[in-house]
Structure 1
């Protein structure tokens, strides 16, 4: 009897945790949609938001990563899809295990944004994976993190928060192309899918 009670209790805790995470992610996605209506440069209007599509929340894509700082302040240029370049600093490297594979992602910092108070902690992870050009945008997807998310050389990276660049919705934007070092040889079936409306 005690075993059954303990088992039921553990199951209930796990269920509540999963629901809490789903609720948290749903709130994040609603805030993401709302940002399109606040940005004067936004490629989307109210009616377009219904065409935003996402994978179902999957906690297996919340990954514990080791972080190593890159001790270099040299700027380098990342190509954009409109043929231009943007300057970044390679801030560090994340290493982690996903789908049974040892993987890594480079983390970048914008020298322009780091001078702005509201973006001084902003870090940028552009990437491609095996869903790119299929279930997800062919030009890759992005993740944003903060320097304050990194604690004692560790970071919890949530691929459920992968989002599309503006180029996925409309032409006329200068979106960074994910460098080859951030092309992952696995399918990240999490985060935002391809936009459901042609442009």
Structure 2
């Protein structure tokens, strides 16, 4: 796994310069993802395994020690390849920087890199994708895109504040959205983290039953 991801931009730990290891799974982004259904399921399960390993590791886990010591694994929806879709990316011409609010007083400087149009189970949707201006200057993450979203599972099966997807700038105008890789912001586990708030523009009026579910500490299950 690559280290020093996001440099405190996407998951800043309040009171210090950045997250414990600032890991956010960006190195799982691939320019080409398997098209065979069985291979896609294997990749999803590998993503889940690696995420659980990071949460168990005290060096990379966002969990407070009281939760991490009894941590057995995150709750995930079952892999569902119908939530892996190919979208059409409309890039923003001359995007204007703006300050994205976070769960603290911190602001994150972003641009709307573009809008992704896609369909899930016959219904059409669109989401904005963002590029962080500080991260853009970080070696190895020049092509990183951030896609936060809300959906109708929030507050029930998934975290109230929505979830995130990591993407990479594609060579053309087609981009893969695999919602099986949707993960919670760190502040879903520890309020000492500062996380970007999902813009209301990115609210999907459907249930995305894929990816990470809401976190329930073992003692509360």
Q: TM-score, normalized by length of structure 1?
A: 0.83
Which one of the candidate residues 107, 130, 133 is aligned to 1:85?
107
User: Which runs of at least 4 in structure 1 moved beyond 4 Å after TM superposition?
Assistant: 38-41
RMSD: 1.9
CA distance in 2 between counterparts of 1:107 and 1:189 reads: 21
Q: Which runs of 5+ in 1 are unaligned?
A: 1-16
Matches within 5 A, 1:22-171: 22-36=41-55, 37=57, 39=59, 42-43=62-63, 47=69, 49-147=71-169, 150-171=170-191
Which whole-Å deviations, capped at 9, do the CAs of 1:46-81 have from their partners, x for residues lacking one? Answer: 535424110000000011100111012321011111
Paired residues, what number? 180
Q: Deviations over 1:134-165 (max 9, x none)?
A: 10000110000111xx2421012100000000
What secondary structure is seen at the aligned counterpart in 2 of 1:142?
A: strand
Q: 1:49 to 1:26 in 2, by over 3 A?
A: farther
Aligned-partner Cα distance in 2 for 1:58–1:90: 29
Partner Cα distance (1:49, 1:20) in 2: 28
TM-aligned CA distance change 1:82 to 1:64, over 3 Å: same
Whose helix proportion is higher, 1 or 2? 1
| CA pair 176-39 structure 1, distance change in 2 beyond 3 A | farther
Partner of 2:82: helix, strand, or coil?
A: helix
Counterparts of 1:52 and 1:162 in 2: how far apart (Å)?
Answer: 12
SS of match in other structure, 2:184:
coil
Question: Is the 1:51–1:195 contact (alpha carbons within 8 Å) kept by the matching residues of 2?
Answer: no
Please state whether the residue corresponding to 1:116 is helix, strand or coil: coil
- Asked which structure has the greater CA Rg, the reply is 1
| Structure 2 residue runs without a partner (length 5+) | 1-35
